Chains A and B, each alone.
Chain A
Amino acid sequence: MTTHYTKTHEYVRAEGNTGVVGITDYAQSQLGDVVFVELPPAGKTLKKGEEAATVESVKAAAEVNAPASGEVIEINNVLSESPALVNEDPTGEGWFFKIKLTEPAELNGLMDEDAYREFVKTLS
């Protein structure tokens, strides 16, 4: 179970050939209180880098891109009632959607946890 990170602050956690996608703790802290998340419909095919979801906070709206290609197999419906989970537990209960990875090799092009931590340091 490895987690990969993008420069646009999405993560994808590989569980077999399934990828759990969400936004990072750094992303939620920059956005502030999340008030709404718009998720892709289950069954939608996403290409890596394609716009997949939208997250709105009290001060901004941001697009969430697919960190890897695949088909959306499950979305986190709890977020429609409790968007604050994105702030409270971004990498746990605040996940966005799960995809069936069609090109797992794409993950190798993403950052691992250490690389992402270093990357975030360069931003502040």
Chain B
Amino acid sequence: MTEFWNAMSVLLSPDGIVFAVIGFLIGCIGGALVGIGGALTTALVIPFTLSMTPEHAMIILVAVYSGVSYAGSIPSILINVPGGPSSAASTLDGYPMARKGEAATAISISATASAMGAILGGIAFILAVPFLAYVANLFGSQEFLMFGVFGLASIIAASGTGILKGFMAGILGALLACVGASLLDANPRFTFGIGELYDGIDLAAAMIGVFAFAEMVRLSQNPSSIAGMLIGRGSIWRGIVMTLKEWKGILRGAGIGMWVGLIPGEGGTVATFMSYVTEKQMSKEPEKFGQGHPGGIAGPEAANNSVIAGALVPTLTFGIPGSVSTALLLTALTLHGLRPGPSILTQDVVVLYTIIGSILVGGVLTMAVGLALSRPLSLLTIIPVPVLVPLVCVLSVIGIYASAFNYSHIFVALGAGVLGYAFVRFDYPIVAFLLGFIVGPLAEENFMRSYQLTGGRPYLIFERPLSALLLVLSILILLRPLYRAWKEYRQRKNAAAAG
């Protein structure tokens, strides 16, 4: 409990609160700008956090995550264009409500439900920590290796772009992470005689390249602003009252969000749509869904924000990120010298509680700052793209340099940008690539340890029950899309035979 109060003293200190507010505001700006989104915003903030203490860095990054999760719904509601995929469900009832002249009411529902979802998720996470510590201690190097495989399998299966593509992206990521001095004997691997590659491919540079550069090139094709006009009015108070009336939906949404967040690769989009469908089915007036029903905003928004806590469980406990944003948080933890996994539950407990506390603070900020700034934030949707692109590009370039004071990292980021753009264009899952890149070195370490422990007979890994179970689960998860495709094929065949 001492660690919990130590974390709270850091979090609730003037510095902690200032960092949380700054992070939340940055997240709101990134979330409200269509095309920027959570991943890019987090990637851009990471270099600034490197000179901070790990606790302050986590406060600012979790606050960014909270801000993005909330503000993504602002363009969804105002202009029917989601700030990110996880905010897409909010367009279904948020935009019709805005068209009825109730935009402020819809934003207020979104903020209140988001805050409640984040707070419920944070509380559930605090309660789960002792149990997670017990589970994580059951894991040895073999189990970690297999959990890495399980995480990658989950993300590949959930990516929806095909198993082969997912595998290729993940393996390529892990292979590129091998570049530089070997973990085993410090001899250089795959450097091709380039001295700058001896330290490996810089994680921060790769992240910013994949997200920022690729996204800016893609966004630059649009000559105008993200939104041409704004629709606003309604009542913030009315929205709060309407949200409180939907308390059952918020509880359901928060539960769905936490559960879905636990599964690597699923994330906010799945959670919000699951919550929307559940609310529609359980509502006494399902016919009003799609026409501006508050339940259609409250449930999904609660789910979208409780996902944060759920997704952080596998990220922190096992080092397996559930989404791109959590992959970036994992990157930040690694850059700060912290090692996600069971050790964070025993050795870095203050950082862990700071992260959980930041989720709760993010919930409070969503309610207080988010509601107050909903109108100014909506103005961000009218920034012209030709203004946005050079500003983000220059920020990214200086940010990469600031992360390690090494100019060659900027050229690494340019290369990563080309790869990121190609991945988007050819529909390869970037999350699988990132997971491979981040988890690759950890997996190699655990693999080599297991290899040595089993005397060069790696199949003995599966004599351990938990490892075998994780392998079976990984295979089942990978077979799921194939089974679905086979089922669809059978249905089509039956329909053709009947018709």
Chains A and B form a bound pair: no
List the interface of chain A (C-beta within 8 A of B). none
List the interface of chain B (C-beta within 8 A of A). none
